[in-house]
Each structure stands twice: as C-alpha cells, then as structure tokens.
Structure 1
C-alpha cells in the first residue's frame, strides 16, 4: 500500500509525500528544504504539480537539480519536464494515476487521482486536489468562473464516498467556522469542528479528509440544501432563494467566504 504523509511547508501548506519501498514522490512542493529533510537521505523519484501558484511550485527547481527527477504537471509551470493534461494516465509507485482538468481556482488546475488495489480486491481512491477542494471548503476564484469551479467540485464529489482527499492547505477549522455560520442546523459540521479544533490544539493535521465527510459538511458541495440556499439568498439581499440556481448560490457563498 502507498504510504502518504504530509510535509508541513510555508505558513499552512502541505506537501504530500508518497512512498512505497524505496521509491519517493512529492505533490506540490512549495519549498525544497522540508522535502529534503523528510527524505532522510533517500532519493526523490518524481514530482507532481496541480497548478502554477508559487506555494505549490517554489521548491520544484531546487529538487529537480538535486535529485535529477522528472516533474509532471501543467505546461504553465516552467519547471515541468513532462506535461500532463485531462485524460493523461501514468503509473506512479506502481499505482495507476488519472488526470482531470478542474478549472476554477486557476485555469490550469489538475486533479491527480490514484486508484490503488487493496489485497482484498477493493479499490482505494486517493485524490490530490491542490487548491480546488479543501476540507469543508474550496479555493478562491483567481482565474476561473463560478460556473467552472462549481462544475469542477461537482465532478470531484462524484468520486466514491471512501475517496481520501489530500488538499494542500490546513484551512479546515476556518472553513468549518464558515460552514457552521451558513448551515447552523448541521450537527455533523458542529461535531467535525470540535474534532478538528482538538487536532489542531495537539498540532496534528486535519487531513486527509474523505468524500463522504465532505458531502455531509462542505457547504460548497451542498448548494442545493434548503438551509444553505436560504443563507446564500440572504447574502444576495433576497428574502428567499426562489429563482436562484445552485451555481448562483455557490457564487454567493464563495463571495461571502472571501470576506468572512
């Protein structure tokens, strides 16, 4: 089985370290030094990148120079040696990897989806989603439209409920505070907030998440829920959500979260 561990970097980033036997890969290395330290003298076999923002790419050039490893990602990242796009498929650490285009946060954003076969014949899906889907939240719209981000999130949310979600920032407590504000009747949000606050107080990560948990507590995946629609309508200055579609509710929530 893959061993997947977070490497804290910058202020609140996670670089994800994937290993099996003596092979090592990382996802979105915003810094090089934490990766070198985590490898403890081992070699780095490859780098995967979800999008071009510097906090996801800043360590890539240094790591490539040190380890002479390939870098897979969108062509917009100058350090990339092997471009990957929607529909690309490759094998990393002996596990099939599929690539989806999920624009919204940026136009070049990719999802990296591993389908790992367990010994009992079941499949475990691992999703590396950068800054598109967060635990209990989603990324800001720096380049894409609300429609693009909404559809990207809907596509990701259709992955199996057991999908493990490895996003790139420790934003969970703040996101859950927002979720609790717009859907105060959701007891699962309240419970998750308390659990995540305890984890952070112990200096432990709140990640990975899973898709079932996101579907139950992430307001950006729940834009059709009555209480959330009502909150979104109020943010738009309307008494009720009559005539509003889910994309419009999503756009209202994203604008609200930007200033929360």
Structure 2
C-alpha cells in the first residue's frame, strides 16, 4: 500500500512533507518545527525519521527542535554531512535504503547546491526533489553549473510519469509566469496556471507527466525553435532558459 503523504506549508513559501505508513512516520526536510509538531499531534503520529535533501537553512533549521521533541533519526547525504545537522545515517547517490518499510533510491540532483540529493519512493510513486526539479521550474544554481543541473533534471525526468514530484517551495506563480513568457501557446500550462490561481491548495506535489507538459526546463526540445537555438545542445538551451529565468 502506498505511503500516506501530507504536504505542510512552512515559513513563507517552503514545503515539508510527512510520510506515514504501518511502519511509522518520516519527514522530508525541516524548515519549521511548529507546523510539523502540530500535524503530528493532530494525527496521533510519532516521528521516526527526518530525511534531508540539502544543507540550506530553510530545509534543516528545525532539525534540532524536532529531534529533541521526537527522538527522530536524521538521514542525509554523506558528502554534505559537514553542512548538515548530525546524521544518524549517511547516504551516497546511487544507493538504496529502507524507510517506513519501503525501499528508497537516492539520486544525485546537484546544481542548486553540490551534494543535493532527491529521494525516490518507487512503490509509492513519490520523488522528493526539493530545490532541483520544482513545480514549473527548477532551483537557482548557487553552487553548481548548468550542465550539472541539466544532468540532474535528466535523471529525474527518467522516472515514471506518474511519479509525484514533491518540491521544496511554493514558487508556482513566479515560475508559471516565466514559463508562460517562453511558452505562450502551451494550453496545458495555461490550464495549470488557471487551476493554481483558483485554488488555495499547495501547488506541489504534481506528477512528472504534468511537469513534462508545463515545465520549461523539461521542454528544451519544444522551446529550442522559439529561442532561435535550433543548432544548440540540450544543456545549452537549458542554460539559456536558466539565465532568462534569473533575469525575469
């Protein structure tokens, strides 16, 4: 049976995610303690594990309080351990581990930061991508380069289309406005933006299939002629789009 997923709004525009099944409860990223503890209390759940995607403060700063309150074990990337809270388990990209009775694949999605990882739960069709692949966008390249991020997005894009992409922020309106500026005739994108505007619900997760249809950073083939880059490689088109988004 797939794990139950709860999307939590934290801080101003962060998302954190609770996962629950018969073997317990896990949290992916820890921006803020109060929303997590409130939800756990409301549902009568006990937090067993905290999975961290990358070292930025708005994804890890609540770890000490949550560990103190719950005793949860902390899991993150070995190569990023010097910038993360103390880890009970260190992971390397390409390996798999078990949490809540499900096998989880660890993916290297460096670009936004070096050592950023994503967690893919194939049985539950979930991928926690944080600030790599995002709803209608991707993260800024603070530490990596366009080629690195393109490889990360390609790796994520190889997952099954029904996979729900659980990203780290509610940037949907800004990302969507940029997407529409470079892909103005995309009806799937227009429909998605109308749905976002009409709803107060979180705009993540969304299926990878929907991202393929509406996310400009996964649509370099479709956008290449619109950018007059017919002879350019996929990474080159991606780099242009990322620069345009940075300046948007």
Q: Normalized against structure 2, the TM-score is what?
A: 0.93
Partner Cα distance (2:39, 2:13) in 1 = 17
Kindly state the Cα deviation for residue 259 of structure 1 after the two structures are TM-superposed. 2.1
Structure 1 residues 163-172 or 73-82, which shifts more? 73-82
1:60 maps to 63
Over aligned residues, Cα RMSD in angstroms? 1.4
4+ runs deviating over 6 angstroms = none
Where relative contact order (Cα < 8 A, 6+ residues apart) is larger, the structure is 2
2:9 is aligned with 1:12? no
More displaced stretch, 175-184 vs 84-93: 84-93
CA distance in 2, matches of 1:96, 1:81: 18
SS of 1:17's partner is strand
Measured after TM superposition, the shift of residue 211 of structure 1 is: 0.9
In the alignment, the residues of structure 1 paired with residue 102 and residue 39 of structure 2 have an alpha-carbon distance, to the nearest angstrom, of 22
Aligned ranges for residues 198-217 of structure 1 at < 5 Å? 198-199=198-199, 203-217=200-214
Deviation by residue 1:62-113 (Cα, 9 ceiling, x = unmatched) = 1112222210002231332211111221111111111011110101100100
Gaps of 5+ in 1: 117-123, 233-239
1:221 to 211, 218, 223: 218
**Hey, what's the Cα distance between the residues in 1 that align with 2:22 and 2:156?**
30
The answer as to 2:51 corresponding to 1:48 is: yes
Correspondence for 1:78: 85
Deviates more, 1:182-191 or 1:141-150: 182-191
Q: 2: distance between equivalents of 1:62 and 1:253? A: 39
Structure 2: how far apart are the matches of 1:197 and 1:50? 29
Is the Cα contact below 8 Å between 1:230 and 1:241 reproduced in 2?
A: yes
Is 1:126 aligned to 2:121, yes or no? Answer: no
Which residue does the alignment assign to 1:236? Answer: none
Corresponding residue of 1:33:
34
Q: Give, in whole Å, the separation in 2 of the partners of 1:7 and 1:187.
A: 29
**Unaligned 5+ residue runs, structure 2?**
none
Native 8 Å contact 2:76 2:91 kept in 1: yes
Structure 2 CA distance for aligned equivalents of residues 223 and 17 of structure 1: 33
After TM superposition, give the deviation of residue 189 of structure 1 in Å: 0.8
Write the distance in 2 (CA, Å) between the matches of 1:243 and 1:160.
29
Distance in 2, matches of 1:42 and 1:185, equals 45
Q: 1:60, 1:79 within 8 Å by CA — same for their partners in 2? A: no
SS at match of 1:254: helix
Partner of 1:162: 162
Q: Match of 1:237?
A: none
The number of equivalent residue pairs is 241
The match for 2:100 among 73, 93, 114 is 93
Separation in 2 of the partners of 1:5 and 1:42?
12
Q: Is the 8 A contact 2:32 2:62 kept in 1?
A: yes
Question: CA shift at 1:243, angstroms?
Answer: 3.4
